[in-house]
Structure 1
Amino acid sequence: MERVCVTGALGFIGFHLCNRLLNEGIEVIAVDHLQKDRTLEEEEMELRMGRNAQYHLHKLTLDSLHTINDFNKIDAIFHIAANDQQLLKETTESELAMIEKMIKKLPANTRLIYVSSTEVYGDQEGEISESATLRPDTLLGKHKQKMEKSIAQFSMEQSVVCSIVRMPVVYGPWQPEHVEKVDYNRAIYISDAVNGLMLAAMKKKGNEVFHLPSFFDIDCSEQRPQSLEGSFLSTSKSENQLGYKPQVRVKEGLAKYNEHVKQWLKQCEFQKGSG
């Protein structure tokens, strides 16, 4: 890949993905519809990436993507932009319309990586593979299920190479506040999430679905019989076809996150003192 587009580029996952792409010398067309009331963290993320000449930020909504010069010359697009969960019921149809319009602008064989959620599986028992029946029981899960189905259909119609990546909760530096309320043992660290997305973008075969297992899932797959209560993600497809395995265990990941928080607070105090 030489030139890619990332929607939701200033979000948590988008920011880290853009940094990874830039570090590998890949030109990034970043798209994010910025809110008027921005946090210091969002401003800092924009500042850090804006220093790189390979980074081009477009403050646009998805339905304006066609206005970007040479949009049809990108190798891949990572669709990470997400709606406010409180507004999902009202925005699903509008997002689908924007996605269809976006895909129609892409030339054949462009790679499209859509970030979905393991919430599409709902409450199931035992080992869950990517081919499991989807039974979402949350607003987010139902939204992602609709988006997955439509994106796969639009991509096939336009001969776009689509990969859908279902993620558990992701944590790490710059994580959203709501992440602190989840079970970290079932989550994956941000660098593992980004690595999974990069591996999915390199798949030549399209119309595939992958999920990114956590260490919890790996441990369950190796040690726990399916007859026990609860569920865990199958690790075989992502490992065999993508070469994906998480690298950062929870203890290490939380240590990195806590160090980031400490350094960020120091920076904020310094800026206040010099302001």
Structure 2
Amino acid sequence: MQTVLVTGSAGFIGFHLCQRLLAEGFRVIGLDAMTDYYDVALKQARLDQLPQSNAFVQITGRVETPGLVMGLFEEHRPDYVIHLAAQAGVRYSIENPRSYLESNIAGSFEILEAARAYPPRHMLLASTSSAYGANTEMPYRETDKADHQMSFYAATKKAGENMAHSYAHLFGLPVTMFRFFTVYGPWGRPDMALFKFTKAILNGEPIDVYNHGDMKRDFTYIDDLVTGIRRLMDAVPLRPEDGIVPEGDSLSPVAPFRVVNIGNSDAVQLTDFIAAIETALNRTAIRNMMPMQPGDVPATWADASLLHRLTGYVPSTDVATGVAQFVRWYQDHYDTGKPASDA
């Protein structure tokens, strides 16, 4: 039985990934700080859905705590490491940047140091589409320069990519950084637009629509993202012996290191996303039109061709289907008593 260490295991993505790995017969070591950035009860409810067995070990602790991750590596010797633990949120990084410094940079350092001491077969670390920053040419390709991050959150995630590359080069650690886009679906985060919009519409409250709705996002359904991560586990990068990288590949010429987009390859207008929520709820939103928020970008759009080349997989769940799945989960979990439309 192969062992996978998943940091951020009680988080939105981590929970779904743990479900998939356990269903496939992996042994999973989960680490999560259970912070109160959002509702801890929701995080606990996610963990309660995971099968309780010898195949799953859940540990509460901060990834940045010196020595904690090293001890987990020493005890469990994971074959794979999937590092999802991070302080998330673009807007919150303006209010509380230190939490991003500690979790995203110091936490990633602890992971890399532990992997240096006890090398896993493959490390997969979460980055973000926000790393593309001020880039305007779309769709975003992994080979594009990403030098102008527009939020401290994005800057810490890009710093994590650079740190991981240095360890991959110096110590031969196979590393895949996956840049995910706007992820949504059942058990999602309360600070994300879909969750906030659904709650507000059901309560008859207005929703804040930034940049007056003139925004596009590459909405990626959670099951598609998890499938992408799972497929990438088997796509272990190798340092090119001659330093020559195939065209279109983000593989480093000097390290077993690669960056891969996981996105739906479709830029959806925010107003269309809201319309899908309205259809699923059979209600009309009250829109509070707002200017663009600091740190935000007007559009994101993934080129997922490298993911397809490496794994044969491309995310494909359309927004109407994914939003309806979330709404069904939300109304069931919070017992709103208002069944979602089947439309």
Please indicate, yes or no, whether the TM-score normalized by the shorter chain is above 0.5. yes
- TM-score, reference length from structure 2: 0.68
Determine if contact 2:181/2:220 at 8 Å carries over to the other structure: yes
> Structure 1 residues 10 and 184 mapped into 2: Cα distance closer, same or farther (>3 Å)?
farther
CA distance in 2, matches of 1:69, 1:214: 34
| 2:82 is the alignment partner of 1:78 | yes
C-alpha distance in 2, partners of 1:65/1:152? 19
1:139 to 139, 152, 156: 152
Deviation, 1:89, is 5.5
Matching of residue 194 in structure 1 with residue 226 in structure 2 = yes
Identical aligned residues as a percent: 21
Q: Deviations over 1:78-97 (max 9, x none)?
A: 00001253335542553344
| 1:209-244 superposed Cα distances (whole Å, 9 cap, x missing partner) | 1001214159xxxxxxxxxx9763223211112222
The equivalent residue for 2:114 is 102
Partner of 2:315: 246
- The separation in 2 between residues aligned to 1:42 and 1:20, in whole angstroms, is 17
> Hey, what's the Cα distance between the residues in 1 that align with 2:184 and 2:28?
23
CA distance in 2, matches of 1:245, 1:90: 33
Residues 70-110 of structure 1, C-alpha deviation per residue, up to 9 Å, x if partnerless? 54532100000012533355425533442332222322x52
Q: How does 1:48-127 map to 2 (within 5 A)?
A: 48-49=49-50, 51-62=52-63, 63=66, 64-68=68-72, 71=75, 73-83=77-87, 85=93, 86-87=96-97, 88=99, 90-91=101-102, 92-107=104-119, 110-123=121-134, 124-127=136-139
> Do residues 207 (structure 1) and 257 (structure 2) align?
yes
- 1:129 aligns with 141
Task: Tell me which moved more, 120-129 or 170-179.
Answer: 120-129
Matching residue's letter, 1:192: D
| Residue 173, structure 1, aligned to residue 190, structure 2 | no
Q: Which has the higher helix share?
A: 1
Distance 1:78 1:26 in 2: 13
Whether the 8 Å contact between 2:105 and 2:156 is mirrored in structure 1 is no
CA RMSD of aligned residues (A): 2.7
Partner letter of residue 34 of structure 1? M
Structure 1 unaligned runs (5+)?
219-228, 269-275
**Count, aligned residues:** 257
Distance 1:106 1:155, change over 3 A: farther
Query: Structure 2: any 5+ residue segments left out of the alignment?
Result: 195-209, 238-255, 269-297, 338-343
When residues 186 and 102 of structure 1 are mapped into structure 2, their CA distance, relative to the original with a 3 A threshold, is: same
**TM-score, reference length from structure 1:** 0.83
The answer to whether 1:161 aligns with 2:174 is: yes
Distance 1:125 1:61, change over 3 A: same
Structure number, greater radius of gyration: 2
CA drift at 1:177: 2.0
